[in-house]
Amino acid sequence: MELVDAPHSKCGTFGFVGSSPTAPTCLMETYQRLPLKIVKGRGSWVWDEKGNRYLDAVAGIATCSLGHSDKKLSKVLIDQLRKIQHVSNLYHIEEQEELAEWLVRESCADKVFFCNSGAEANEAAIKLARKYGHIKKGIKNPIILCANSSFHGRTLAAISATGQPKYHKGFEPLVEGFEFFKFNNSNEVKSLQEKIEENGPKISAILIEPIQGEGGIHPGEKKFFKFLRDLCSKHEILLILDEVQSGMGRTGTLWGYEHLCIEPDAFTLAKGLGGGHAIGALLVKESANIFKPGDHASTFGGNPFACKAALTVGKEISNRKILENVTNRGTQLRLGLEKIISNYSFDLKEVRGLGLMQGLVIKEESNLNSSIIVEIAIKEGLLVIGAGRKVIRIVPPLVISKKEINQLLRRLDSCLSKVTN
């Protein structure tokens, strides 16, 4: 394909590499885009502009819960567009109230605030934690404890709460008021307890993922989270869980905290909540329900269209017994990945994760990294994503079938055979 120039456009050129278009220069270069232009999708499959088909184990980064172009979701949203798509939160919104009722009924929460993304949901949680510290504990400068290797979003407060320095570089000074501890580390328990007991009056919340996603797919340990829950209860500290990636059935239960046998005071949602449509949420128990009118807001948060999408996803998870499918397909995927590890034991270390949120871990001493696998997998008709340099993240649609998991495993094995030989 020829390189096409657009000399009269302020955007400059629109280049092509091979058969796949690069981003036009009108777009800011905030993404390192792969050489693939996806034009349509159905179920667990997507197609490029040349008609090549790919098994999608990325699903919009754990977002397309019902897969692509789901018939039920499409019909509901077409009907919603014919009815109304957006009104201001100055008024009562029927679809928003219905979704809030569903979320409260299906979780430990009592109240819900809607926004548009995971980062926004975590921003709301951070504001909630600070106000809680001020009005409930009388703290002048509240501190929020977060975990090393965590990820909470790209806004300034969210990256300040993120325990990965690579996301901080170039954006200093960060938002103050965050301190960090080691995730799942039993040796950290005593020091964390001492930190809270010594600085307890300064600490308003702990913000933590029940299973770390971007940090390398690390499931939380029951014992560690039980300790956090008890510590927070003892010192009247909010335990806030970031369920942006783990929520809405991704791990085989509706909420990631169910694996840990605890209940948070608040938790955040996004990604799979809307099945590919932009919506986020902060859910709180009544004890953490401290926002008043004017404390927080969102123009598009909880709009009728997004709420109808999320409510449909929630109902379909139940109607189609999707949680059962996630559990079964997750077991199938894990067993298949363990077999692959045995075939490539020089390069591969282990499988981590729950349900359909799993990571294939590459040994540190191996020359392989996740970027290499991601690029080669495209040539095998498979889309996967990294979770750091040494973890291949596999997060397909929750509706993926047994046959498709087998195809995923075969394509991944073929990819590995090419890069290791």
Those residues whose C-beta lies under 8 Å from the C-beta of residue 410, and which sit 6 or more positions away, are none
Shared domain for 201 and 334, answered yes or no, is no
Q: Where is the domain boundary, 319, 347, 375?
A: 319
In a domain, 364, yes or no: yes
Instruction: Dump pLDDT digits (tens) for 177-214.
Output: 999 999 998 777 777 777 777 766 799 999 999 999 99
In a domain, 352, yes or no: yes
Q: Where is the domain boundary, 285, 302, 319?
A: 319
Instruction: Dump pLDDT digits (tens) for 98-153.
Output: 999 999 999 999 999 999 999 999 999 999 999 999 999 999 999 999 999 999 99
Least confident range from 72-81, 102-111, 195-204, 248-257: namely: 195-204
Round the average pLDDT of the chain to a whole number and report it: 93
Shared domain for 315 and 330, answered yes or no, is no
Q: What CATH number corresponds to the domain at position 413?
A: 3.90.1150.10
How many CB atoms sit inside 10 A of residue 110's CB? 13
How many domains are contained in the chain?
A: 2
In a domain, 13, yes or no: no
> Do residues 387 and 215 touch, judged by C-beta distance below 8 A?
yes
Shared domain for 294 and 368, answered yes or no, is no
pLDDT of residue 129: 98
Q: Where is the domain boundary, 319, 344, 363?
A: 319
pLDDT, mean of residues 58-63: 98
The Cα-based distances of 378 to 102, 151, 164 in angstroms read 38, 26, 28
Shared domain for 149 and 238, answered yes or no, is yes
Q: Which two tokens stand for residue 99?
A: 């979704």
> Do residues 202 and 141 touch, judged by C-beta distance below 8 A?
yes
Shared domain for 243 and 363, answered yes or no, is no
Shared domain for 358 and 247, answered yes or no, is no
Shared domain for 172 and 261, answered yes or no, is yes
| Selection from 320, 327, 349, 326 nearest residue 337 by Cα | 349
Q: Which two tokens stand for residue 26?
A: 């009108």
267: left (phi over 0), alpha (psi -120 to 50) or beta: beta
In a domain, 138, yes or no: yes
Considering just the CA atoms, what is the radius of gyration of the chain in Å?
Answer: 22
In a domain, 302, yes or no: yes
Percent of the chain clearing pLDDT 70 (strictly above): 94
Instruction: Dump pLDDT digits (tens) for 384-420.
Output: 999 999 999 999 999 999 999 999 999 999 999 998 8
In a domain, 22, yes or no: no
Q: Which two tokens stand for residue 54?
A: 């790919």
Shared domain for 233 and 359, answered yes or no, is no
Shared domain for 294 and 404, answered yes or no, is no
What's the full length of the chain, in residues? 421
How many whole angstroms separate alpha carbon 124 and alpha carbon 111?
13
pLDDT of residue 9: 52
Shared domain for 315 and 190, answered yes or no, is yes
Shared domain for 260 and 315, answered yes or no, is yes
Instruction: Dump pLDDT digits (tens) for 355-368.
Output: 999 999 999 999 99
In a domain, 4, yes or no: no
How many whole angstroms separate alpha carbon 390 and alpha carbon 349?
10
With tokens 């806030």, the residue in question is 240
Instruction: Dump pLDDT digits (tens) for 303-326.
Output: 999 999 999 999 999 999 999 999
How many CB atoms sit inside 10 A of residue 1's CB? 10
Q: Is 2 a residue whose pLDDT tops 80?
A: no
Q: Is 45 a residue whose pLDDT tops 70?
A: yes
Q: What CATH number corresponds to the domain at position 233?
A: 3.40.640.10
Shared domain for 330 and 315, answered yes or no, is no
In a domain, 7, yes or no: no
Structural domain harbouring 364: 42-69+326-420
Residue 15 is classified by DSSP as: -
